[in-house]
Chain A
């Protein structure tokens, strides 16, 4: 009974089905339905999904199996290839579906109020439900191709929703930018999938995992690095990592609940999800892990610097999202998959809360997004302010009361373990990526002795760790800068706006409060190891243990094991450094924007060049514009000219011209005079006869 059930778990199909039905009903009939019905269908579909997600996860907890599967449809059966539309529920996808449907429902609820005035509300909800459907497909997919369908689906919905107010050219262009930049990554992604398939002969996650952890691992090893790197390029597109992150800040053109759901909580984290799903494969390729860690660190750092000076409330949050996603990739890169996934979850809570809070503010301010024109809003919006503050504390990583502290600490500790590994055993076989870097990734650079090699690996590990630490400091600073400028101090808005200021309606506040509570307690599922006494470890490290079935085959997935008995000192070090950064960031923000308001100007004048660079976002958009967009336009113009002058001009019109002129010349033969025709015939016969005789 149990066994049959676990392989034919229908609930998974239902979870995916409800949002699809909601999207179809609202998409087809929505324009004729009253707005309240549209609200109920859209939110109800996601709520039903959420309900069945809880049921399913509950069954998963009680089931002896760690994976429940359901085959909805036999898609392709030919030769050696068999491909199903199949779903799997394991601890990883369980967490994802709870986030997607749970946070998704809250955001639907929020949207019913936020989008109340929009005439195309039905279209909005149809897209939003379709997004939830695609996202569920992505995380529940049992093989890479089902995930890929979801991957493309969320991309399409993201495009539709960013450009939702398409009559504004700038917003439509932002949607296109997101789509095009994502396509670059998606291309690498599909190539990576096919490369993997060519070597393993399967798209199935479970089979791939069995192969890479079993005896077939040696055969797959050569393609592991290129496949992971290609898939990672796909992730840099979808999860907005350097160098493909530029679409995410522009994506803020969409409605704010969309930014919260798609561009903070769910879609942008699918890269982290995918790499965690393929953790066995990823951990086989240590070159790729180095690249992931370095790219993540660079992204985390640079995005944080851009958030420091941004004056758009959603812009700060957008760069913050990019930066936090960078953190998660550091986690993947240093082998702390649990840390990455943990941060994914806490980030989904607090960032969704922050975005929804900013939406509440923007609504109250009548569309104003510039924080220089806000201030003192706590007087009018106490609930929004409190939830925003809780989420700020969470993302800043204030110990214990901020969920971000726990997850960020796990990642930073993982990064620190790399340094440790590089110090103690640079060349010996172990399983931590450093040795592999030495033997494979950098043979040319590190042709010297083992000592030089160790130094190299150590330097890189330190850089990754320190970038993470500095980013933690900047995160705390810019988030509290945002908070202070928005909610504290004097109101800088004009009289008319001030008169209209008001707290948001209940639907918005409920969503905010629930998310704030989650941001507050969400981290308590994974305490630092040193804080968890022997007896309580099962509860205090619940998050980590929950993922045992997913990550246990990955070597050294539990950071504590890397250090042996001496881990406590390292972890304490990591906690102290992380907390110091959080507190000093908040303190500096307090000093700058509450105590000494003249200080920011003075600092920016002293560091004018840096300030200009930050304000202009390091000119990355301009560089891309010059390198790629201008070239693409040139190529377009060139092919236009080629088409106009060669294809249309010479070939198409040329052929037409020759035929027409020949016709003009020959028409004189066709006089319509029968006798003249007869004369031609006779002349022709006479000529033929003369030739023959």
Chain B
């Protein structure tokens, strides 16, 4: 069986949904973070799949951009999470609500 664009897209959609549901339902900051990475990478997969399908390199460029931004985001995000942990002794996002009115 040949692996077509359709298969790539279904896989990407599936991982995206896993990541999205994770973001919506989990409370652990690290988990949330990994779920966001999952969503970003499913998008990357979509880009690459389309790039292969259309036989040009635009998708690759986008994927690299997304990876660069994700890396930067990971650095900042992890620093924030560490800070939150130091403050609350926990990484549960429900507790980080001091700015709420």
Q: In this assembly, does A682 line the interface, its C-beta being within 8 Å of a C-beta of chain B?
A: yes
Question: What per-residue 1/0 map shows which CB atoms of A650-693 lie under 8 Å from chain B?
Answer: 00000000000000000000001111001100100000000000
Contact present for A682 and B24 (CB under 8 Å) = yes
Q: How far is the CA of A672 from the CA of B99 in the complex (A)?
A: 9
- The answer to whether A675 and B97 touch (CB under 8 A), given A682-B20, A682-B24, is no
Majority-rule SS of A interface residues: helix
Residues from chain A with a CB closer than 8 A to the CB of B101 are 672
Question: What per-residue 1/0 map shows which CB atoms of B57-101 lie under 8 Å from chain A?
Answer: 000000000000000000000000000000000000110010111
Contact present for B24 and A678 (CB under 8 Å) = yes
Q: In this assembly, does B23 line the interface, its C-beta being within 8 Å of a C-beta of chain A?
A: yes
Residues from chain A with a CB closer than 8 A to the CB of B27 are 675
| CB contact between A675 and one of B23, B99, B100 (< 8 Å): that residue | B23
How many chain B residues touch the partner (CB < 8 A)?
11
- Give me 14 other A-B pairs in contact (C-beta within 8 A), A672-B100, A675-B24, A675-B25 excluded: A672-B97, A672-B99, A672-B101, A673-B94, A673-B97, A674-B93, A675-B23, A675-B27, A675-B93, A678-B23, A678-B24, A679-B24, A682-B20, A682-B24
Binding site for B on A (CB under 8 A): 672-675, 678-679, 682
- Quote the shortest CB–CB distance from B80 to chain A (angstroms): 13
- Quote the shortest CB–CB distance from B39 to chain A (angstroms): 11
Closest B residue by C-beta to A683: B24
Jot down 17 A-B pairs with beta carbons below 8 A, ordered by A.
A672-B97, A672-B99, A672-B100, A672-B101, A673-B94, A673-B97, A674-B93, A675-B23, A675-B24, A675-B25, A675-B27, A675-B93, A678-B23, A678-B24, A679-B24, A682-B20, A682-B24
Q: How far is the CA of A674 from the CA of B20 in the complex (A)?
A: 13
Residues from chain B with a CB closer than 8 A to the CB of A674 are 93
Residues from chain B with a CB closer than 8 A to the CB of A675 are 23-25, 27, 93
- Quote the shortest CB–CB distance from B15 to chain A (angstroms): 16
Residues from chain B with a CB closer than 8 A to the CB of A673 are 94, 97
Q: How far is the CA of A159 from the CA of B3 in the complex (A)?
A: 102
- Quote the shortest CB–CB distance from B95 to chain A (angstroms): 12
Select the residue from B24, B94, B99, B100 with max chain A CB neighbours within 10 A: B24
Majority-rule SS of B interface residues: helix
- Quote the shortest CB–CB distance from A153 to chain B (angstroms): 60
- Quote the shortest CB–CB distance from B21 to chain A (angstroms): 9
Select the residue from A673, A674, A675, A678 with max chain B CB neighbours within 10 A: A675
- Quote the shortest CB–CB distance from B97 to chain A (angstroms): 6
Residues from chain B with a CB closer than 8 A to the CB of A678 are 23-24
Residues from chain A with a CB closer than 8 A to the CB of B24 are 675, 678-679, 682
- 8 Å CB interface, B9-52 against A: 20, 23-25, 27
Closest B residue by C-beta to A679: B24
Residues from chain A with a CB closer than 8 A to the CB of B99 are 672
- Quote the shortest CB–CB distance from B24 to chain A (angstroms): 5
Residues from chain B with a CB closer than 8 A to the CB of A672 are 97, 99-101
Closest B residue by C-beta to A672: B100
Closest B residue by C-beta to A674: B93
Q: How far is the CA of A383 from the CA of B99 in the complex (A)?
A: 90
Q: How far is the CA of A679 from the CA of B101 in the complex (A)?
A: 21
- Quote the shortest CB–CB distance from A218 to chain B (angstroms): 83
The 8 closest A-B pairs by CB, nearest first: A672-B100, A679-B24, A678-B24, A675-B24, A672-B97, A678-B23, A682-B20, A682-B24
- Quote the shortest CB–CB distance from A380 to chain B (angstroms): 84
Q: How far is the CA of A678 from the CA of B20 in the complex (A)?
A: 9
Q: How far is the CA of A679 from the CA of B26 in the complex (A)?
A: 12
Closest A residue by C-beta to B25: A675
Closest B residue by C-beta to A671: B100
Closest A residue by C-beta to B96: A674
- Quote the shortest CB–CB distance from B56 to chain A (angstroms): 28
- Quote the shortest CB–CB distance from A638 to chain B (angstroms): 46
Q: How far is the CA of A674 from the CA of B97 in the complex (A)?
A: 10
- Quote the shortest CB–CB distance from B8 to chain A (angstroms): 20
- Quote the shortest CB–CB distance from A688 to chain B (angstroms): 15
Closest B residue by C-beta to A676: B24
Q: How far is the CA of A678 from the CA of B24 in the complex (A)?
A: 7
- Quote the shortest CB–CB distance from B25 to chain A (angstroms): 8
Q: How far is the CA of A679 from the CA of B20 in the complex (A)?
A: 9
- Quote the shortest CB–CB distance from A634 to chain B (angstroms): 51
Q: How far is the CA of A675 from the CA of B94 in the complex (A)?
A: 9
- Quote the shortest CB–CB distance from B54 to chain A (angstroms): 23
Q: How far is the CA of A678 from the CA of B32 in the complex (A)?
A: 12
Closest A residue by C-beta to B100: A672
- Quote the shortest CB–CB distance from B69 to chain A (angstroms): 19
- Quote the shortest CB–CB distance from A639 to chain B (angstroms): 43
Closest A residue by C-beta to B27: A675
Residues from chain A with a CB closer than 8 A to the CB of B97 are 672-673
Residues from chain A with a CB closer than 8 A to the CB of B100 are 672
Closest A residue by C-beta to B101: A672
- Quote the shortest CB–CB distance from B93 to chain A (angstroms): 7
- Quote the shortest CB–CB distance from A663 to chain B (angstroms): 13
Closest A residue by C-beta to B24: A679
Q: How far is the CA of A675 from the CA of B22 in the complex (A)?
A: 10
Residues from chain A with a CB closer than 8 A to the CB of B23 are 675, 678
Q: How far is the CA of A672 from the CA of B94 in the complex (A)?
A: 10
Q: How far is the CA of A674 from the CA of B26 in the complex (A)?
A: 12
- Quote the shortest CB–CB distance from B32 to chain A (angstroms): 8
Q: How far is the CA of A674 from the CA of B93 in the complex (A)?
A: 9
Q: How far is the CA of A682 from the CA of B35 in the complex (A)?
A: 15
Residues from chain A with a CB closer than 8 A to the CB of B25 are 675
Q: How far is the CA of A682 from the CA of B101 in the complex (A)?
A: 25
Q: How far is the CA of A391 from the CA of B23 in the complex (A)?
A: 106
